[in-house]
Amino acid sequence: MISYPFPRYLTDQPHRRYNPLTGEYVLVSPQRTKRPWQGQVENPPPDSRPAYDPACYLCPGNKRAGGVRNPNYDHTFTFTNDFAALLPDAAAAPTAVSPLLRAETVRGTCRVICFSPRHDLTLAQMSLSDIRRVVDVWAAQTAELGQTYCWVQVFENKGAVMGSSNPHPHGQVWALDTLPNEPAKEDVQQQQYWQENGRPLLLDYAQLELERGERLVEVNEHWLVVVPYWAIWPFETLLLPRRHVLRLPDLTGAERDALSDILKRLLTRYDNLFETSFPYSMGWHGAPWTLETCQVPSTNNLANHQSKPDRSEYTHWQLHAHFYPPLLRSATVKKFMVGFEMLGEAQRDLTAEQAAARLRLQVR
């Protein structure tokens, strides 16, 4: 690893950092880290939960809110969400009466993945073999749904502060026939970088972070975790494979084992940072699945972006996962995206380098 002097200006003066994945900027204000806090304080999660909760609609054998009873599953369990945000047979949207009053048809499906039959575990607390089962389910769901839908979004909301309505360890998979805003921006940016440089943007970025080391949190033979240079959330991280990979199903057995290992190490560091079960939203971004029916957003810099004729043209993509944890100062104080963030652009106080250094200090 090469040691580079980090510009002092970026450690104590306000500046903007560019996100090459989205083409957007984040305002960094490191001089604000000493300001006092008299705002909202969150209630920390309970210290313990039972291994089985008879009132939990995700525990084995229990009846769900929609009336269906879960099987007595032993490991992972996947089912179609009883209150799905997307429907495979959604009615066609009416013709727009004005370009200012547009609506578009969207069809899809939503599934829930119970990571474990144990109500009292999180991914960080699960064994490596059980985490590997979750990784395999993520890959299998992506491969299956990618045969029908052009975008498959695997994600997890952990903790009540991130909107999770149930503490049972679980994630979700939403699949739809349109390319959502965030991956559409990433598609444009990665494609432009590929055309200019002939290499995947995130593979070059991973190599740069391995060389510099100042934002590196975890690394193993096949993966690395960094606090990205352009991070918005206080302890945001980016999880990257070290070779060119398009989608979760493309991972080898060794890469899936290594992914299980680095996930456990990262999530343990998170939990140890403020000595709490760390809340976050995380999700995977991989190359879209090319389909004739795939709709692409037609606004701003995406106006001329068209769906590709075949899967080989997505070589500019690199698989990656985003982790967005909200906690800022402690287990009870979170970052709020309000005011300037909602009306101007994202802003953060803690620099990416400071956040990475604090995560590296945690015992895993």
Tokens linked to 331: 């287990």
pTM metric for this prediction? 0.91
Q: What pLDDT score does 302 carry?
A: 43
Is 15 in the active site?
A: no
Lowest mean pLDDT among 176-185, 287-296, 297-306: 297-306
Tokens linked to 49: 């939960």
Q: What pLDDT score does 36 carry?
A: 54
pLDDT in tens, 54-72: 999 999 999 998 899 999 9
Beta strands in the chain (DSSP E): 15-19, 24-28, 77-80, 108-114, 151-158, 170-176, 216-219, 223-226, 237-241, 280-285, 320-324, 327-330, 333-334, 347-348
- Rounded to 10°, the helix 253-273/352-360 angle is 100
Q: What pLDDT score does 145 carry?
A: 97
> Which listed residue (170, 285, 320, 322) is catalytic?
170
**Residue 275: is its pLDDT beyond 70?**
yes
Q: Averaged over 158-162, what is the pLDDT?
A: 90
Superfamily of domain 48-87+104-360: HIT-like (3.30.428.10)
Q: What pLDDT score does 40 carry?
A: 56
- Rounded to 10°, the helix 181-197/201-212 angle is 80
pLDDT band at 298 (very low <50, low <70, confident <90, very high): low
Q: What pLDDT score does 310 carry?
A: 45
Q: What pLDDT score does 6 carry?
A: 63
The larger pLDDT score, comparing residue 331 to residue 26, is at: 26
Average per-residue pLDDT for the chain: 90
**Residue 42: is its pLDDT beyond 80?**
no
Per the listing, tokens 């967005």 go with 324
Tokens linked to 135: 């990784």
pLDDT band at 23 (very low <50, low <70, confident <90, very high): very high
CA atoms within 13 A on the CB side of 315: 7
Q: What pLDDT score does 12 carry?
A: 77
Using CA atoms, how far apart are residues 20 and 196, in angstroms rounded to an integer? 13
Residue 198's SS3 state is coil
Q: Please state whether beta strands 280-285 and 216-219 pair in parallel, antiparallel, or not at all (unpaired).
A: unpaired
Q: What pLDDT score does 173 carry?
A: 98
Q: Averaged over 226-240, what is the pLDDT?
A: 97
Q: Averaged over 336-361, what is the pLDDT?
A: 93
Q: What pLDDT score does 304 carry?
A: 41
C-beta of residue 20 within 8 angstroms of C-beta of residue 189: yes
**Residue 299: is its pLDDT beyond 60?**
no
Where helices occur in the chain by DSSP H, the ranges are: 9-12, 128-145, 181-197, 201-212, 253-273, 340-343, 352-360
For residue 249, give every residue at least 6 positions away whose Cβ sits within 8 Å of its Cβ, in sequence order, or none.
139, 140, 142, 143, 146
Q: Averaged over 168-177, what is the pLDDT?
A: 97
pLDDT in tens, 246-260: 999 999 999 999 999
Q: What pLDDT score does 229 carry?
A: 98
Using CA atoms, how far apart are residues 41 and 64, in angstroms rounded to an integer? 32
Q: What pLDDT score does 112 carry?
A: 98
- Rounded to 10°, the helix 253-273/128-145 angle is 120
pLDDT in tens, 94-108: 888 899 999 999 999
Q: What pLDDT score does 286 carry?
A: 98
Lowest mean pLDDT among 182-191, 234-243, 264-273, 323-332: 323-332
**Residue 300: is its pLDDT beyond 50?**
no
Q: Which long-range contacts (CB under 8 A, 24 or more apart) does 357-363 make?
A: 357/214, 358/235, 358/273, 359/217, 359/227, 359/235, 359/237, 359/269, 359/270, 359/273, 360/216, 360/217, 360/269, 362/268, 362/269, 362/270, 362/272, 362/273, 363/272
